[in-house]
């Protein structure tokens, strides 16, 4: 038997793009969503056509290309240019417009704020469609590589080391210049000396900058990027991307970009932003031990937000038997004593006015058969220190223990968001520089994720129906209908012109 034979690639055929794009392709969702948006109100550049001059690409088409690109993991302007020319769904989405990479890149550069707002516009649709549960959100952060090499990131220690090395080399070159005989060798060494002196001047300037700003490090290419430890225990120049994911359908409700390598100062910020975005106060936030911080817990309480946060153990506590860790020692407010896990009473040994109070019982510890499990190192008895924020931590620990079932779902809710971004959507690094632009790029990546996730949650037919309902709700229904009628007329005219050309060619032949 022979192999399957394909069609003749030189055969002229009649077809339209709509027939070649799957009926339930995600570009149809993107197309309808963008048609609902009031691009002029969102502040997109050239949303209203210019009265004179050469026609420009409309922001609607450019936004469609970016949303499809980020959803499918294509982010650079050159690759988006190629996508618009080679991908049938992209050609359908763009009405066969093919902007060059410079035009595509300029659109993103000129509409940083507006592109970020599109994420919240889609979030508004998700809320109206009932896809946000608004009961619990999981908060977490991940490090995403910045567009800045480690070699062009400088800490104070690194700068001082470079200055010290540069001065040593300069001294060596000066000594060599005194001893050289030939002019060629003299010029070669002089050139090296000039280069070294230029580098020294640069590092001295960096040192002054760090001294003036009070920052701990400086990045040459992206000034806002910072050196951070990533999930692979390596170190890279990165940003700390924060996401608040709703527990119902695992959709991202809110996000932020931090220059701080740790999550310690992000909990209250993310809870407050999510409360404002979802317009609901009584949402339970779920976060890991990286967010266990007194100031942040106070901030959440002040905002009326409930949080379930895992306790942050000190290094000494981690090595103890789990049954004898600090959270197993119960404080009695009325009696002002601690009770240890086996029932021994540890009284206070200083005043309630003291900033850091001590609770212990030497005799009980010396006669205890669990000393090896409870004590570490050469300590002879257990001391419980109670700081000024101990009541706050006690409330947080109780909230955590009462909602352990919720905390166990944390990873399922939020961790796969970052996994999808980095593995499936090519989002393990940023293309743009500075915090503001990186935030824009993050919004596009997370919007791409929400598009995927919401389609899976509702199905194609249902999400298209909900988009129509949302358009009517915000008063854009007639505008969308007009757009689709115009588009059908446009497609019909194009088909008629192609048919006429084909018939004319046959007649001539």
Phi, psi values for residue 249, rounded to 5°: -125, 10
Domain map (residue ranges) of the chain: 17-128+434-508, 136-144+229-313+404-424, 150-219, 320-375
Partner residues linked to 462 by β-bridges = none
Which 8-state DSSP code applies to residue 11?
-
- CB atoms < 10 A from the CB of 169, how many? 17
Give Rg (Cα) of the chain. Answer: 31
Distant-in-sequence, close-in-space partners of 154: CB < 8 Å, separation ≥ 6: 162, 203, 206, 217, 218, 219, 220
pLDDT at 482: 56
SS3 for 310-372, per residue? Answer: CCCCCHHHHCCCHHHCHHHCEEECCCCEEECCCCCEEEECCCCCCCCEEECCHHHHHCCCCHH
pLDDT at 486: 58
Phi, psi values for residue 221, rounded to 5°: -85, -55
CATH of 136-144+229-313+404-424, one of 3.30.420.10, 3.40.50.10740, 1.10.3720.10, 3.30.750.200: 3.30.420.10
| pLDDT tens-digit readout, 66-101 | 999 999 999 999 999 999 999 999 999 999 999 999
Alpha-carbon gap, residue 303 to 296, rounded angstroms: 11
Distant-in-sequence, close-in-space partners of 81: CB < 8 Å, separation ≥ 6: 98, 99, 100, 101, 104
User: Model's pTM, two decimal places?
Assistant: 0.85
> Cβ distance 258 to 266 under 8 Å?
yes
Alpha-carbon gap, residue 220 to 207, rounded angstroms: 13
CA distances from 384 to 90, 130, 361 (A): 64, 48, 10
Token pair belonging to 219: 């990045």
Q: Profile the chain (509 residues) by mean pLDDT over runs of 10 residues.
A: 81 83 95 93 84 84 96 96 95 94 95 96 95 95 94 92 92 85 81 91 92 90 91 86 96 95 93 94 93 93 92 66 82 88 89 85 87 80 88 90 91 91 93 95 97 95 94 73 57 64 58
């Amino acid at each position: 038997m022979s192999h399957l034979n394909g069609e003749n690639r030189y055969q002229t055929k009649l077809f339209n793009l709509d027939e070649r794009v799957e009926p339930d392709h995600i570009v149809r969702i993107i197309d309808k969503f963008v048609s609902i948006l009031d691009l002029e109100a969102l502040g997109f550049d050239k949303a209203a056509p210019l009265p004179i001059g050469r026609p420009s690409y409309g922001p609607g088409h450019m936004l469609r290309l970016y949303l499809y690109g980020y959803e499918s993991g294509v982010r650079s302007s050159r690759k988006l240019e190629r996508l618009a020319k080679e991908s049938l769904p992209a050609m359908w989405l763009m009405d066969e417009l093919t902007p060059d990479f410079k035009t595509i890149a300029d659109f993103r550069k000129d509409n940083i704020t507006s592109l970020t707002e599109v994420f919240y516009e889609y979030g508004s649709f998700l809320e109206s469609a009932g896809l946000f549960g608004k009961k619990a959100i999981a908060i977490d952060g991940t490090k995403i590589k910045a567009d800045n090499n480690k070699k062009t990131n400088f800490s104070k220690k690194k700068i001082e080391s470079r200055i010290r090395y540069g001065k040593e080399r300069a001294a060596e070159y000066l000594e060599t210049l005194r001893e050289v005989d030939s002019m060629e060798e003299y010029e070669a060494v002089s050139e090296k000396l000039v280069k070294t002196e230029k580098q020294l001047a640069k590092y001295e300037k960096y040192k002054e900058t760090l001294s003036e700003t009070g920052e701990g490090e400086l990045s040459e290419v992206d000034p806002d990027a910072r050196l951070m430890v990533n999930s692979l225990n390596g170190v890279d120049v990165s940003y700390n991307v924060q996401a608040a994911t709703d527990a119902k359908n695992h959709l991202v409700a809110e996000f932020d970009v931090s220059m701080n390598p740790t999550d310690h100062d992000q909990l209250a910020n993310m809870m407050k932003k999510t409360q404002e975005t979802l317009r609901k106060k009584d949402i339970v936030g779920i976060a890991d031990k990286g967010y266990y911080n007194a100031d942040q817990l106070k901030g959440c309480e002040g905002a009326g937000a409930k949080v379930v946060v895992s306790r942050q153990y000190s290094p000494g506590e981690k090595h103890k038997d789990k049954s004898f860790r600090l959270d197993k020692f119960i404080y009695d407010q009325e009696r002002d004593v601690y009770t240890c896990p086996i029932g021994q009473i540890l009284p206070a040994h200083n005043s309630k006015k003291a900033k850091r109070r001590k609770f212990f019982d030497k005799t009980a510890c010396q006669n205890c058969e669990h000393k090896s499990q409870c004590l570490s190192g050469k300590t002879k008895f257990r001391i419980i220190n109670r700081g000024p924020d101990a009541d706050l931590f006690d409330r947080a620990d109780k909230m955590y223990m009462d909602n352990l079932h919720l905390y166990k779902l944390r990873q399922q809710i939020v961790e796969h968001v970052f996994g999808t971004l980095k593995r499936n959507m090519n989002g393990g690094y940023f293309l743009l520089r500075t915090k503001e632009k990186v935030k824009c790029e993050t919004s596009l990546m997370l919007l791409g994720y929400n598009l995927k996730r919401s389609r899976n949650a509702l199905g194609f037919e249902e999400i298209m129906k909900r988009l129509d309902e949302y358009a009517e709700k915000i008063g854009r229904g007639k505008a969308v209908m007009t757009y689709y009628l115009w588009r059908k007329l446009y497609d019909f005219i194009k088909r008629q012109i192609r048919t006429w050309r084909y018939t004319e060619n046959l007649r001539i032949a």
